[in-house]
Structure 1
Amino acid sequence: GSTALRDAVQATYPKAITLYRHMERPGIPAGYENWDVYCLIRDPFDRMVSIYNYMTDFRPTSKPGGGASAAWIERLRNDTDRPFADWLADSLEVFTDPINYDGTFLPYYNVMEKTPIARKSQYRWARPDLGPVTLIDIKEAVHLYERLGVKVQKTNASVRQTRPEQCDKVQSILEDRFQWDLKAATKFHIEEREYA
């Protein structure tokens, strides 16, 4: 996941900095706007299942910027204490929020858009309307790692291996909320820099 990629980049490039954990493209700091932009894209069903499982089994990281409060962990677990289809339909959990629910503030987790994660399209991160972006299927992330010259060790994967059914209710929600994602997941441009 993003933790493993961050660790690999920082190991290879010690002066690299990670200002934010899951910031959307409009929040990329000034000065970086001329850099190549890559966005790992995942099939929306697979992405939602992964997030659901991660939230259910959340374990705080000991890495810098980690240290989620017990209140936040409980909130995530309570949000996913229901069948996947119901969670997808009704969850209002933003998931990435700098307010740590114990009175602390963690700027590292700041995002611009407080959309619940079960409703947030990957478009919010890719934002092809802001300039060229290379979309890479997350299953082919090795291509990004090669371009960056890093070796990524998979860590912090959710321990749950639940695979909910992609029933009609789930499919309807995906088609309603994630039209861009569904289209993007079938149209990757590893060689081309621009996606429209």
Structure 2
Amino acid sequence: MILVPELETVIILVPRTGSGSLRRAIAEKYPRSTLVYRHMEADGVPAGYDRWRKVGVVRHPIARLWSLYKFLGNFDGDHDPSYIDAMRKSVSMSFSDWIIENRVPFTTPYDSAGHGRFWPQYTVRHPLPENRKSQFMYLRPDLGTEILQFSDMAAIEHRFGINLRRHNETRKAPLPDLTLTALEHCHQYFRWDFSAWEGEAL
């Protein structure tokens, strides 16, 4: 979640919707902007700032999960080693099985190693695994969030007056065939997501 005083706007950063690229571009263009939480949902906007406009990006739900699955397989970076290990182990199964069986939240402030540590920047209101967490829960269009399409980067750039450069982009790999059970799971949990996306090819 980014607060952008220059635009009086709150940007909701949904995982694997270009959020890293958007975060960097916003910081470069708007020096007063502040990253308060990495992936806080729209119903967690800090008091007072909830009067500002809210904007977020939606992506085809299966494409988003496939991107996350690939990302976690090589997860690295400036994170606690126990968190990195937990993320990598969470995808030690087929994509279809992960869609159905994963129980590990991607974003949580709580310590994966059980040492009682806490990282406030990763606080979310709804710490569900991504394979059960609709983008509706992040974006909350019922709270007035403006929805932009991941498939239309030009519109995102125009909306914020920025130039996007891809960061954390996963390797190109064809989407594996999903089992019928995995597809049914997606349509059960991501009904809103399917209805909200426009025109992105899988």
Query: Aligned residue for 1:113?
Result: 126
Deviations 1:55-112 (A, max 9, x none): 111121xxxxxx2111111111111000011111010011101124354322111111
Report % sequence identity. 29
Structure with the largest fraction of strand: 2
Residue from 182, 186, 193 that aligns with 1:170? 182
Structure 2 residue aligned with 1:125? 138
Q: How far has the Cα of 1:160 moved from its partner?
A: 6.2
Q: How does 1:1-196 map to 2 (within 5 A)?
A: 1-60=18-77, 67-102=78-113, 103=115, 104-130=117-143, 132-159=144-171, 161=173, 163-186=175-198
Extract unaligned runs of 5+ from structure 2: 1-17
2:109 touches 2:123 (CA, 8 Å); kept in 1?
yes
- Relative contact order, CA 8 A, sep 6+: which one is greater? 1
TM-score by length of 2: 0.82
Out of 97-106 and 21-30, give the one that drifted further: 97-106
Q: Distance in 1 between matches of 2:131 and 2:184?
A: 13
RMSD: 1.7
Q: Secondary structure at the match of 2:194?
A: helix
Count of residues paired in the alignment: 180
The answer to whether the 8 A contact 1:95-1:117 is kept is yes
Q: Which sections of structure 1, spanning at least 5 residues, go unmatched?
A: 61-66, 188-196
For 2:171, the aligned partner's letter is V
Give distance in 2, aligned partners of 1:170 and 1:140: 27
